[in-house]
Structure 1
């Protein structure tokens, strides 16, 4: 296979194989110290059942399961300088950016017409760190050779201090909160088996406005990474979902440069960037064999089909769900919360 650039060939156990081998094989158990701490935190039932229950920790409502993973990470996760961590608020383009990062890193490891993304879901390629630590399977993370690509929904203030102090790079993607709301609503409906089995759209909207939702408040989640990206731009790149949709090739190049494997002139002249963008396009991912079937293990006791992760992948679908008054109220809340930080919706 032609080596298009300076990116090293990555001959390592594919992450999904490591995950499959580790399934149902518990090695670590939550410490009693964690249980004691969790018992002291304010608890709130989640409006979205797959995030239930939530605990208030450092100003954020974190699903208990994921908080257990975060605390275990604080004790045991050892970042490497070459690590790449994708972070997002839920339903902000996580699956798409996982595909982009993984395809970019592995573009010299597989012919693109035989790339694993044709047959596997991006979540099988880029695991959630807190999820693996929460299930006692941190060996999955340790087994991935460098450069490791991982992901997280944790706010910056809850990431282990070792990550903040390390040279690993963080890719943060955020999305218009109104579209986040709509995506979360449809995702929850699919998981629970129908709109009649979940809270109303208006209830979910109110919870987002109040900041009482999984990993929320959303404005503090975004601001934490925004401020750090301004302080340390070499460590955190701050991307907006809508901008990537408008100029995917431009952002694919920007992303590749940031994670340490820029496209060579030869690659660009041969259209490799465009091929990566096409490989990771919404329709390509949605229609791939790996995303039409299969069950995600992202949330305990919930069977989440990979197909649930793909609906429209558009910007502005909120206009079909929110009244003008609802949209204006949410925009006003967000604008007030982020005012003075130099960030625009």
Structure 2
């Protein structure tokens, strides 16, 4: 993800360019799949522009007890989760039957800003934010406040394949003459953890452990469970966010209507999500966030042996945690 940079003064001042450059020079560096620099900062691989914004965020962001933080590994259902949480929490202010509902006119990423560009907007109350960073990198105000964290992860097979297509699409737009690495090459780097916000398994394990230790603070969701029973998962999210659906709402089909309204089929066909000129994330067309949204799409890109290798790797990393992602 490309991060918006805003150098306007707010709270503590950003490190001077020379200070930031000194920091970069002190960090391990690797090339990303997009041939950009990644820096190992606090255990995670972060791009340069994201890192500068992240440090500003860590220094300046002050959480409110009513904030809701959405955390995902990249390409694991971030857009969908943003749409669902926005619609659930704002359902009394915006009726989904209204043709001017914010999701009809604005991409989900424009309604729920990433912390990495948190100065942009925070629509409505409660304030909704999103990020791909690990728990250890969050500001203390988030950890010590009563704000809620919803974490969503996805089967690594489909996450990897979605990431590969997304990276290929970005590279094709930025540099059409370049050759994007093969799935085999990318899988090696994926398993090595040298990807944006990686290693992915360490982030997943952090939030999994926290969800068991502090279930009132962290809700851990799986993409496959959202797809399997969206009604139950919407009710779970609403209960967790202290905005439960009433019996009357359930009887009136409100949850079903929200699920349909936020579905891949509906969102991907909206005009705002098919535009190439309007971008909720810098340099990324809104339509790039909608490809298939299917479970098992890995079969169309990687071989069974590659998938099995990834399964064995993930099983080893998650060993003893009680968490299964297959």
TM-score (norm: length of structure 1): 0.85
Pick the aligned partner of 1:146 from 125, 143, 147.
Answer: 125
Residue 302 of structure 2 aligns to a residue whose secondary structure is: coil
CA distance, structure 2, for counterparts of residue 203 and residue 90 of structure 1: 19
Residue 296 (str. 1) matches residue 279 (str. 2) = yes
2:265 corresponds to: 283
Do the aligned partners of residues 241 and 309 (structure 1) sit closer, same or farther apart at CA in structure 2, a change above 3 Å counting?
A: same
Residue 31 (str. 1) matches residue 15 (str. 2) = yes
Pick the aligned partner of 2:295 from 306, 315, 322.
Answer: 315
Residue 324 (str. 1) matches residue 304 (str. 2) = yes
Query: What 5-or-longer segments of structure 2 have no aligned partner?
Result: none
Residue 110 (str. 1) matches residue 94 (str. 2) = yes
Pick the aligned partner of 1:215 from 197, 204, 222.
Answer: 197
The CA deviation string for residues 95-152 of structure 1, in whole angstroms up to 9 with x for no partner, is 00000000011111122122221221100110001123xxxxx2x35x6553101100
Equivalent residues in 2 for 1:1-345, closer than 5 Å:
26-28=7-9, 30-32=14-16, 33-49=19-35, 52-114=36-98, 115-132=101-118, 138=119, 140-141=120-121, 144=123, 146-193=125-172, 197-293=179-275, 294-296=277-279, 298-299=281-282, 303-345=283-325
Residue 113 of structure 1 aligns to a residue whose secondary structure is: coil
How far does residue 35 in structure 1 lie from its aligned partner after superposition? 4.0
Do the aligned partners of residues 117 and 232 (structure 1) sit closer, same or farther apart at CA in structure 2, a change above 3 Å counting?
A: same
How far does residue 73 in structure 1 lie from its aligned partner after superposition? 1.5
TM-score (norm: length of structure 2): 0.90
Does the 8 Å contact 1:131/1:298 carry over to 2? no
Do the aligned partners of residues 247 and 66 (structure 1) sit closer, same or farther apart at CA in structure 2, a change above 3 Å counting?
A: same
Does the 8 Å contact 2:134/2:206 carry over to 1? yes
Does the 8 Å contact 1:192/1:198 carry over to 2? yes
Number of positions where the alignment pairs a residue of Structure 1 with one of Structure 2: 311
CA distance, structure 1, for counterparts of residue 15 and residue 201 of structure 2: 32
How far does residue 296 in structure 1 lie from its aligned partner after superposition? 2.7
The CA deviation string for residues 192-225 of structure 1, in whole angstroms up to 9 with x for no partner, is 2269632222211111011111111111010011
Residue 151 of structure 2 aligns to a residue whose secondary structure is: strand
CA distance, structure 2, for counterparts of residue 342 and residue 195 of structure 1: 45
The CA deviation string for residues 315-345 of structure 1, in whole angstroms up to 9 with x for no partner, is 1111121111111111111110110111112
CA distance, structure 2, for counterparts of residue 63 and residue 295 of structure 1: 23
Does the 8 Å contact 1:84/1:150 carry over to 2? yes
1:8 corresponds to: none
Do the aligned partners of residues 248 and 145 (structure 1) sit closer, same or farther apart at CA in structure 2, a change above 3 Å counting?
A: closer
The CA deviation string for residues 224-245 of structure 1, in whole angstroms up to 9 with x for no partner, is 1111111111000000001100
Do the aligned partners of residues 332 and 344 (structure 1) sit closer, same or farther apart at CA in structure 2, a change above 3 Å counting?
A: same
How far does residue 24 in structure 1 lie from its aligned partner after superposition? 9.0
Do the aligned partners of residues 229 and 25 (structure 1) sit closer, same or farther apart at CA in structure 2, a change above 3 Å counting?
A: closer
Query: What 5-or-longer segments of structure 1 have no aligned partner?
Result: 1-22, 133-137
Do the aligned partners of residues 327 and 25 (structure 1) sit closer, same or farther apart at CA in structure 2, a change above 3 Å counting?
A: closer
How far does residue 297 in structure 1 lie from its aligned partner after superposition? 5.1
How far does residue 45 in structure 1 lie from its aligned partner after superposition? 1.2
How far does residue 68 in structure 1 lie from its aligned partner after superposition? 1.6
Residue 167 of structure 1 aligns to a residue whose secondary structure is: coil
List structure 1 runs of 4+ shifted beyond 6 angstroms.
Answer: none
Does the 8 Å contact 1:178/1:318 carry over to 2? yes
